[in-house]
């Protein structure tokens, strides 16, 4: 069984989660940053996992375009999707629906809420300022490794 994880990440959280997930999956696993490889070939893989981070309710444009352009091919694979985001799981389903076509979501074997984290070193000044202002007095986001493991387990079956 072979798996490709195609992700987009602004501050590095989706990249970190993609690598963590890759270590938990069986067989050959390749991790591809769509920012560095905008047209990845996934034809030789059994499983395709799409990962993105959420900012102001939106995922990266490159992931939206990739899924839209490859929808029919993706539906012929065993697919999954995960989101990295702060806050709690309550907005997860809403963010999936507003960022991905229903046909894609219906085809997904697994949908994962992996949590989030602030990686201030990778954010620009403007983004750091906004994050600090919006997060004041709120719980610090964290990654949920148990969710990553549960997601990986769904691809072992």
Tokens of 133: 């202002």
Report which of 6, 35, 16, 5 is spatially closest to residue 117, judged by C-alpha positions. 16
**Higher pLDDT among residues 11 and 29, named by residue:** 29
- Please provide residue 122's backbone torsions phi and psi, each rounded to the nearest 5 degrees: -95, -5
**pLDDT, tens only, 102-112:** 999 999 999 99
Mean pLDDT, the chain, rounded, equals 88
Question: Which among 9, 65, 20, 17 is positioned nearest to 40, based on CA atoms?
Answer: 65
CATH of the domain at 62: 3.40.50.360
7-34 average pLDDT score = 94
Structural domain for 144, as ranges: 2-154
- Report how many domains make up the chain: 1
What pLDDT is attached to residue 139?
47
Cα–Cα distance measured from residue 24 to residue 55, given in angstroms and rounded to the nearest whole number: 26
- pLDDT, one tens digit per residue, over 84-130 is 987 778 899 999 999 999 999 999 999 999 987 655 565 566 665 66
Could you give the CA distance from residue 7 to residue 37 in angstroms, rounded to a whole number? 10
Predicted structure pTM score: 0.86
């Amino acid at each position: 069984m072979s798996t490709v994880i195609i992700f987009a990440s602004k501050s590095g959280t989706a990249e970190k989660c993609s690598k963590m997930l890759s270590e938990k999956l069986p067989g050959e696993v390749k991790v591809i940053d769509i920012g560095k490889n905008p047209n990845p070939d996934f034809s030789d893989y059994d499983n395709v996992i799409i990962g993105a981070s959420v900012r102001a309710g939106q995922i990266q444009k490159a992931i939206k375009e990739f899924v839209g352009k490859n929808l029919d091919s993706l539906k012929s694979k065993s697919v999954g999707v995960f989101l990295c985001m702060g806050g709690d799981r309550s907005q997860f389903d809403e963010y999936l629906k507003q960022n991905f076509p229903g046909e894609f979501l219906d085809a997904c074997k697994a949908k994962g809420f992996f949590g989030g984290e602030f990686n201030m070193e990778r954010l620009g000044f403007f983004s750091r300022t906004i994050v600090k202002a919006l997060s004041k007095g709120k719980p610090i986001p964290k990654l949920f490794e148990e969710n990553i493991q549960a997601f990986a387990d769904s691809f072992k079956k």
